[in-house]
Every structure is written in structure tokens, then in C-alpha cells.
Structure 1
Amino acid sequence: MGGEFVDLFVVSFSLLACLAAFLLSTVWVGISLFLVGLVGFVLFTGSPPLAILSNITWNSTSGSTMLALPLFVLMGEILFRSKISENLFNGLSPWMDHLPGRLVHVNIVACTLFAAVSGSSAATTATVGKITLPELLKRKYDRSLVLGSLAGAGTLGFLIPPSMMMLVYGILADVSIGKLFIAGVLPGLILAAGFSGFVLLRCLLNPRLAPASDLVYTWRDRWKTIPQLLPVISLIVMVLGSIYLGWATPTEAAAVGVLGSVFFAWLTKSLDRQVMKEALMGSVKTSCMIMWIICGASFLSVAVGYLGIPTTLTAFISTLGLSKYMLIVILSIMYIILGCLIDGFSMIVMSLPIALPLIKAAGFDPIWFGIYLVVMIEVAQITPPVGFNLFVINGLVNDDLFTIAKYAFPSFVIMMAFTALITIYPGIVLMIPRLMIK
């Protein structure tokens, strides 16, 4: 076993070095994965790579589940270009103004709601940030609190469904997309509550962080803003409600979401030919990029499987006598390091062939692991030097990346504490999927 493990370690390190070399030379991620898989087949196995490549490419892109991907991307693109984010701020402000932290909570609640219709962390951060940041900073809110809360809450675009990361994980891990989506709802809400709780606590200790406004909102003012919140709430109910109740598959729910987003964009007078053209082009570019990655990852996973790396590594780790909690600690450290170096899609495709067999052998549910992995990808969104949310906020306010990362550090701590919570109490993730109507 020891010699076999050493041999496979050399092979694994060689493939990883090839992948790092391709990525550092700015080769596209999808192409890099294809090339590394090809290297693995040609150098270390006697199997015909081209015959396997054709089958893998077809099988990984021809399933009905894959149809949901461009549809959810299109829904997010349309909403990103509409006035819905502006209406969200105006609609939420009267409801949040009386809380300690005041309109900082709008950052968090708006990100939570927009995440449920966008599927993207960067899009959620950019869409909410372009409305809230100028207003909050103009009102002299504490800069670290405003930027830190946006950086953390913006990551909810990956955890609260529909999520691009969940779609990719579900396809590669062959688990139910619908159950993954529903599994992300309660963890997403708890994490959002954690972000708001931190803001609440800081502002109770130091009220000057969120100065009072001259405006006084009555209950009548609050109820009058409900129509501005209805488009997002309606889309959430249509998409997630139809999946949970068993009325629609994720693909069918995505189609309903696209129709709903078109209707509400038209209703808010923010839909024209140029907006549709930009939304369609944006969705084509994003969907093709993700599909390239999925095809390349599937090919590399097969190559890794042919080499026997997952089974050998699983057998080796089982001899170490690690508890399942120690395994999660080790994986968490690995994902934090990976998150400092590569993007979320790459984190999934590089680690899944190795991590998923280990997780299954330790007795964890693949649905649970999908949510855990998405939370770790959220952490990567706010860790320099490649945290995408840091770049988005940098583009909005011009603070340097490491300053924004410092502001976002409390969100990092909250997310790591949340990871420990769902590891100790996995029912937080699995409770609602088990109640789904078949």
C-alpha cells in the first residue's frame, strides 16, 4: 500500500503541476482541464483518450439538467440590468431604519433576496453595491461596516438558490439539483442572520457607526413600499416554491424564472432591445464558460478515476484513523488555501474527484457536502488575492483589495463558525430536503 501510494502521489503531483502551469500561463480553465486529463491518459494509462473524450463531452452536456444552467444565468442577467435592485433598496429602507445598524441591514437583506434570483455572488455584490454604497457612505456610515457587510452578504449569491455553484456541483457529483437548491435555503438564511447579528451587536456597542437619519418612517410608509419588493418575492416563490412542491423540475422552474424576470423588467420600464441583447450575450458567454469547465472537469475526473487515485487515497486515509470531524478540518484548511489561489469553479473541479469519495466513506451525505463546499467557496470570495467580491467592491469604491479584505474579516470568521455549526448539526442542511414532495 505504501509503495502504491507513493507512486500515485507522484502521478497526482505531476498532474497538479501541469494544471498549475497551464493556469499560470493564462490558458482558459476549461482547456487546462482537458489538457491535464489528456496528459494523464497519454502518459500514465493505456486507454484511448479521444474515444473517452467524445463520450464524456456528450454525456456531460446532453442531460436535461444542463438546460437549467443557461436559463438561470439569463434570469440573473436580465434582473442585473433592471431597476429591481434600486426598488429593493427603496422598499427595504423603511423596514430596516429602526434597527441598530439601520440601513447597513439593507446591504444584507437586499443581497439575500437578490441572491435568490441571480445565482451569482459577483452579480449580487455588484447589483446591490452600486445602489447601497453611494447612499450609505454619503450618510457617513462606518466604511468598514458598510464594505465588510456587503462583501460577506454578497457571497450569499452562491448559497441561496438558484446557484451556479450548486448546479456545477450537482452535475459533477450526480446528485439531485432540486434537493441541493432546497438544502441551501435554511443555511443561507441562518448565515444572513449571522451577518445581521454581527452588525446589530457592533452598532449596539457603538451607535455612531450607523448615524440616525432625519427621516422618520411610519407603518403606513412601510406598507406602501411592499409593491417595490413584490417582483423579487414573486420570483422566489415561483422558482423555489415550484421545485419544493414538486410542481416543476429545476429546468422548468428556471424557464418560469426567465419569463418572470422578463415580465418584471418590462413592468419596471427597464426592458428594451439593448437590454435583452446584452442579457442574451452575457448569458451565452457565462454559460459557455461554465460548460467548458464542466466538460474539462468530467474528462479529468475520468482520467483520475482510471489512475485509481481516489480509491487509493481513500484507502490510505482510512488507515490513519481520522475522525470525520478531523477530516472536515483538514478539508477546510485545504479549501481556504485553494481559495486564495483559484476561483470557485476550479475549486470544485480540482477537489471533487478526491474529496467526494473521502466524504462518502466518512458517512457524510453528498447533499450536505455540496452545501459545505459552497460555503467554503463563499469564503474564497472574500480572501485575497483572488477573491472576486473584493475585486467587485474595489471597482465600486477604489479601496485596495487588502483593506477591503480586512473589512470583510468578520464575515470570514462568521462563515467558518457556520461551517463548524453545520458539521456538528448536519440536520440544518438536510432537514428541508427530506421533507420535499417527491
Structure 2
Amino acid sequence: MSVEIKAPTFPESVQEGSIATWHKQPGEAVSRDDLLVDIETDKVVLEVVAPQDGVLQEILKGEGDTVLSNEVIARIEAGAAAAASAAPAADAAPQAEAPAADGEKPVAPAARKLAEERGIDPQQVTGTGKNGLVTKEDVVAHKGAAAPAAPAAPAAAEPAVIPGERVEKRVPMNRMRARIAERLLDVTQSTAMLTTFNEVDMHRVMDLRAQFKDAFIKAHDGTKLGFMGFFVRAAVEALKRFPSVNASIDGKDIVYHGYQDVSVAVSTERGLVVPVLRDADQMSIANIEAKIAELGGKARDGKLTIDEMTGGTFTITNGGVFGSLLSTPIINSPQTAILGMHSIQQRPVAENGEVVIRPMMYLALSYDHRLIDGKEAVQFLVAIKEMIENPAKILLEI
């Protein structure tokens, strides 16, 4: 019995996706819940698994093809054994790859195409996919790769490769990067964005962290104490005092949120994503640190769900982990403000009439001036500064 494999039901905010990687090829045996294919959307990578045991009969959508919600992308011969499976159907998608011959490594279609372009023997590439499958990433990472083979040229033609040639490479944006570009451009054109700056003395928070980091790890099942927990808690308290910073604009209406869902920017290979800490006002510093670590790991592995990335009333981004000294972060629409953290540097500051060396961090608050006045923005940032410089205020909520 032939069973249709369909693309998942996409959320309303996702119109279509594209086939990223096939993990099984026609003729291969599959077991129930085996990963068949990754589908990349403009927000997340969705996994499609086998609904039951059988053999992958044919692939209807090859890597790079566009797919719609619930579209049929492959078929499985349910209950068939691998040995009983014939060669792939002749009408399978052109990009579908036949099973590897005895003694040969299985090679994904995209990997084989890239290897041919680069003049690489895919059998010499170490496969990191399931059952030794050679993926596109394996070909990219392969050492000693030859230059792309040049087409044959007439004898009188000039050499295909000229010493000192300035090489260019054109590749299409992946869906996530294209969507990020679209959203950022839209924000800069549709908001009255302004940024205010301040600096914060981090020495008390750093002393607390140094004093209790080992005890914190033991008390909270291995969760590490970082700086994000303090900043999220400080932001939550500041958002309660300045509700317009936690609001959003919907047409001609202002939507005030009676909760604080804080988005935390995470950098991944595919682009920047902003998973959400739901009800951050009800979370302890330990809960915040554990949840950020969990969401960060899922983001880097491409395992975030749409729900984990949807919503959010305020965003925090930490460019300091990459060495950024100062920046003007772009608002995460439809939110109206975003807090930017930066690297910590030892700087001389005046304290009680004396010059002392302190670990200082620049803070930046970008906000939509259509809703938030400069006075509110400055007071909001000062409130965060005061709580970070006096961590007891965070715990006492004062």
C-alpha cells in the first residue's frame, strides 16, 4: 500500500517552504518516526518523519523545491522490506538520488551536485549524515577540494583560470535570511525609530556572579549564572513602570499588554531568531537562565517551533558576546522598543569624587517615537541602569 508523505500544515504567518535536505533516498527502508526530510520556512526548519514502517518509494519534491502546506512530497510503500524494493521509480523527481552501490557512501543530491561543481569525488568526502550520508555541508567542509571544473575551451582560447583573478560567488538567500531582510527594511521605513544610550557599572553584578556561580550551578541542576537573567528581570520591572514601552501599535490603536513576554535574540547559522520567554514577570533568574539556554540550543539546532518564536512584547539583544562596543539595535516589529547590551570594558569613572576603574557596559534603547516619548525612553533606560547597579532592587522589586 502506498502512503503519501505530506508537508506539515504551515501556520497562517507562513505561506510556503522549501525542501532543505532529504535524509532518506528512494529504495531505502524507513521505520516509523524516522526523519525523512527537513523543510525550511522563513521562520523555522520543520521536520517530516515517516508515519509507518516501509520503503521510500519516490520523492516528488527535490531539494530546493518550493512546497505548500499539506502538499504531497513523497510516497512510502508501507510494510515493504528494503530487499524487496525495486529501483526508484522512473518518474521520481530529477533531484532524487538512487541508493548507493555496494561499498559506496550514500550521497545527498545537493551534495553530489556541489561536489561536481567543485571537482570533488564525493566518495572521498567524510559523511556526517545518518548512516554515513554525505551532505552538502560535508562537501563545503571538505579539505583539499579542487577548484570548480571549467568547461572545455577551444585551443586558441585564453586559460580558464587567470592568476590574480577576482572571483565572485552568487548564492540565493535562504528563506529565513530573506524574511529577516524584508522585516528589517519594513521596520526602518514604517517606524519613527530613535535610540537613546546610557552606561552601567557592572561591578556589583559581576561580584555577585563570581561569589555565587558555583553554588548557583549546584542549586539549579547545572544552570549557569549569566548576565541575561539580571537584565531580563530588570527589564520586566522597568516595563511594569513604563507600560508604553511594553505596548504595540495596531493600525490607529495602541495595544497595552498586561504581561511581559521578553524576546531574546539568538544568532544562528541561518540568521537571527528571537525566541520568547513567556510570562517573564513570573520567572526567577534561575528559570530565565535555564530557559534561555534551552531556547538557544534549540535555535542553533533548528528545532524552534513557530509558537516559541511568535509574540513577544519587548526584545533584548546582546551584541557584547561578539565584541560590540556600541550599536543601535533595530526594533522587532510590532514591538515598540528593544534593549541592546554590549561588551564590558574596564574604564575610569568618577565615584564619590575619586577616579576608579570599573567594568562598564554601554546600553542602547531603540524605540518607536510614534508611541514612546524621549522622556519615557530615557527614564526606562535609567531604571534598568539603577537596578543593574544595585541588584538588590531587582530582588526587592523597588
Task: Bin the TM-score by the shorter chain.
Answer: under 0.3
User: Which of 1 and 2 has higher RCO (CA within 8 Å, sep 6+)?
Assistant: 1
Quick check: which one's strand share is greater?
A: 2
Quick check: which one's helix share is greater?
A: 1
Task: Report the TM-score when normalising by structure 2.
Answer: 0.27
Task: Report the TM-score when normalising by structure 1.
Answer: 0.25
